[in-house]
């Protein structure tokens, strides 16, 4: 049985990017498209769960995006820890960055259509958003029943990393921070760009430094905070 070995003067939160999905294998931009994990993705999540259990981590609840690959990651990870299923809270603000017209395309196709230099600014830069989806495009989130209750003005047709960060941070400040301060031990399963935006916020990185930050799939990232939620340490459980 895992034990809770945390320092009572710290708050610990574990973040994880979902494991590999079907579209990762073909180098396609997934964004808000709901693509499931591959067997390798499930195996990555299970391995993460075993590492967390061996390190003594205990969770009270999990938070994930509304995209199925994060829920699958949480379920496989928790099962591998050998504990009961966690209460799971899913929210669209933890979704991956919306890649607009690039969603479903691979890098080779994108380079051919828009050129390599421009394309790299879209997916590695902070302020450049890809071409937006047309309002009638069936890939637009307004056609997805999961977002029917949201104000249509909130639904993106494309996002820069800055846009994604602005959309994610309210969930951190308004939902996660109060729970962490109350002593809840959280597992947060999300996506590469969503987590990059949070790391930028926690570590005070600028836009240039952000371009070089990578979030590997299926690897737990353990953040330690002061009781006031100032980041004091982070560790990848490789």
Which of the residues 18, 57, 140, 191 is marked catalytic? Answer: 18
What's the Cα-to-Cα distance from 86 to each of 18, 124, 204, rounded to whole Å? 17, 34, 31
96 a catalytic residue: yes
14-40: buried (b, 16+ CB within 10 Å) or exposed (e) per residue?
bbbbbbbbebbeeebbbbbbebebbee
Scanning the chain, the segments in alpha helix (DSSP H) are 22-25, 39-54, 68-81, 107-114, 116-124, 161-171, 177-181, 192-203, 207-210
Contacting residues for 147 by C-beta, under 8 A, at least 6 apart:
92, 141, 155
98 a catalytic residue: no
Which of the residues 75, 96, 98, 191 is marked catalytic? Answer: 96
Catalytic residues: 18, 96
């Amino acid at each position: 049985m895992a034990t809770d070995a945390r320092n009572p003067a710290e708050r610990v939160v574990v973040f994880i990017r979902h494991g590999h999905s079907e579209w990762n294998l073909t180098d396609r931009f997934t964004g808000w498209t709901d693509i499931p994990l591959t067997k390798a993705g499930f195996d990555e999540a299970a391995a993460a769960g075993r590492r967390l259990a061996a390190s003594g981590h205990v969770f009270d609840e999990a938070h994930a995006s509304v995209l199925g690959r994060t829920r699958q990651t949480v379920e496989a990870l928790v099962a591998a820890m050998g504990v009961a299923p966690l209460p799971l809270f899913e929210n669209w603000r933890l979704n991956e960055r919306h890649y607009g017209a690039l969603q479903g395309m691979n890098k080779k196709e994108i380079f051919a259509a828009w050129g390599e230099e421009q394309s790299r600014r879209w997916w590695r830069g902070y302020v450049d958003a890809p071409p937006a989806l047309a309002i009638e495009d069936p890939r637009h989130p307004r056609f997805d029943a999961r977002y029917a209750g949201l104000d249509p003005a909130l639904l993106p047709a494309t996002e820069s990393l800055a846009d994604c960060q602005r959309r994610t941070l309210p969930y951190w400040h308004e939902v996660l921070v109060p729970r962490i301060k109350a002593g809840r031990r959280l597992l947060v399963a999300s996506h590469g760009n969503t987590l990059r935006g949070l790391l930028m916020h926690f570590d005070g990185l600028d836009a240039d430094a952000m371009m070089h930050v990578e979030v590997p799939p299926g690897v737990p990232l353990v953040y330690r905070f002061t009781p006031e939620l100032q980041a004091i340490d982070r560790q990848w459980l490789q």
